[in-house]
C-alpha cells in the first residue's frame, strides 16, 4: 500500500507529459506502478490502491490466521485484469526499456524479466509475491530474464517478490549504463531497515526455500548499503547522478493501510513530489 506515493509521482509525470527515461526498472509495487505509467493509464493504480486493495477479498487477517493469504494476489490480479486491463500493447510499444525484478526461488538470485505482451501480468504478480503474506510462489514458463552480464536466457522457474533480494534496484540501472537515475522510494529519506529485526514468521514460511531465507536475512543490510551507495562519493566518482524522490517524514501509509483519507493524503504528496522531481531533473 506504500506504493500509493509512487502512483502519485508517476501520475504527476503523466500530467506534465514527462518521460525523459531510456530505462525503467521496478520491483514489487514499483514495477506495477511503472507498468501503468508506460501504458499512459493515469489513475489506474490510484484506483487499485483506494478501491480494490481495500476490499476484504484482498487483505483479510482472519483468512491469514486460518492459513490463507493475508494479501490475495490471485483475486486482485483476476479482478483488475478484467475490470482495469493494462494496455499491454502500449507498454510493449514504449520507447523505454522496461525490466521487472523477480527473485528466483531456486537460488535466491534477483533476475530481471523482460515483459512481452501477455506475460506482463504474471511477471508483475511474481514481483509482488511477498513471502508469508502471499503463501504461493509464481511460476513463469518461458519468460526471458537477464542477470548480471550474462546473455538473456529463457527460463521455466518459480519466483517471488523482487524486493526480497533487491529492494531498491538502482545498481541494476547503473550496471546498464545509466548516468542519471531517478529513484522513487516508498520510505522517507531518513528510513533505514533494522538489521537486528527477526522476521520469524516469514522465516518459518520459507523453511522449504533455504535460498530465500538467506535473502531475507541479508535484506536489511542490502537495503541500507544501497541507500548509502546512492548518497556516497563512490557513485559520484562513477559519474552517476542520482535523484531521490522520497515521501516526507509525515508519510502515513503502511504496508496494510486501508484508511482512505490517509491514502488520499499520501497520493497527493506523491503528486507534489512528482512536480518537484521534474524540476530537480531539469535543474530548476
- Asked if 44 and 58 touch (Cβ cutoff 8 Å), the reply is no
Q: Mind giving me the DSSP string for 17-43? A: T----SEEEEETHHHHHHHHHHTT-TT
Instruction: Count CB neighbours of 258 within 10 A.
Output: 17
- Asked if 126 and 138 touch (Cβ cutoff 8 Å), the reply is yes
* Helix (H), strand (E) at residue 184: strand 180-184
Q: 246-250: which pairs have CB atoms within 8 A and are 24 or more residues apart? A: 246/185, 246/187, 246/188, 246/189, 246/273, 247/2, 247/5, 247/185, 247/186, 247/187, 247/188, 247/273, 248/188, 248/273, 249/188, 249/189, 249/190
Per-residue tens of pLDDT for the chain, all 284 residues = 999 999 999 999 999 999 999 999 999 999 999 999 999 999 999 999 999 999 999 999 999 999 999 999 999 999 999 999 999 999 999 999 999 999 999 999 999 999 987 899 999 999 999 999 999 999 999 999 998 888 889 889 999 999 999 999 999 999 999 999 999 999 999 999 998 887 888 888 888 899 999 999 999 999 999 999 999 987 777 799 999 999 999 999 999 999 999 999 999 999 999 999 999 998 75
> What is the length of the chain?
284
Q: Give per-residue pLDDT as tens, 250-264.
A: 999 999 999 999 999
Look up the pTM and report it: 0.94
- Asked if 29 and 281 touch (Cβ cutoff 8 Å), the reply is no
Amino acid at each position: 500500500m506504500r506504493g500509493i506515493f509512487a502512483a502519485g509521482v508517476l501520475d504527476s509525470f503523466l500530467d506534465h507529459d514527462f518521460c525523459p527515461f531510456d530505462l525503467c526498472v521496478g520491483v514489487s509495487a514499483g514495477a506495477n506502478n511503472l507498468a501503468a505509467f508506460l501504458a499512459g493509464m493515469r489513475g489506474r493504480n490510484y484506483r487499485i490502491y483506494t478501491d480494490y486493495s481495500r476490499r476484504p477479498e484482498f487483505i483479510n487477517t482472519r483468512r491469514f490466521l486460518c492459513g490463507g493469504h493475508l494479501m490475495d494476489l490471485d483475486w486482485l490480479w483476476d479482478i483488475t485484469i478484467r475490470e482495469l486491463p493494462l494496455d499491454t500493447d502500449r507498454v510493449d510499444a514504449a520507447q523505454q526499456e522496461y525490466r521487472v525484478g523477480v527473485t528466483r526461488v531456486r537460488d535466491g538470485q534477483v533476475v530481471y524479466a523482460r515483459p512481452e505482451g501477455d506475460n506482463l501480468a504474471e511477471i508483475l504478480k511474481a514481483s509482488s509475491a511477498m513471502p508469508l503474506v502471499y503463501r504461493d510462489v509464481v511460476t513463469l514458463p518461458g519468460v526471458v530474464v537477464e542477470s548480471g552480464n550474462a546473455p538473456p536466457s529463457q527460463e521455466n522457474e518459480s519466483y517471488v517478490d523482487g524486493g526480497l533480494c533487491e529492494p531498491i534496484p538502482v545498481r541494476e540501472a547503473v550496471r546498464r549504463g545509466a548516468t542519471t537515475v531517478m529513484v522513487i522510494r516508498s520510505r522517507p529519506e531518513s528510513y533505514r531497515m533494522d538489521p537486528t529485526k527477526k522476521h520469524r514468521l516469514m522465516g518459518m514460511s520459507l523453511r522449504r526455500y533455504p535460498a530465500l531465507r538467506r535473502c531475507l536475512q541479508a535484506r536489511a543490510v542490502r537495503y541500507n548499503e544501497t541507500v548509502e551507495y546512492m548518497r556516497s562519493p563512490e557513485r559520484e566518482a562513477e559519474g552517476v547522478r542520482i535523484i531521490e524522490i522520497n515521501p516526507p517524514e509525515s508519510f502515513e501509509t503502511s504496508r496494510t493501510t486501508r484508511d482512505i483519507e490517509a491514502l488520499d493524503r499520501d497520493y497527493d504528496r506523491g503528486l507534489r513530489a512528482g512536480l518537484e522531481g521534474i524540476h530537480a531533473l531539469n535543474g530548476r
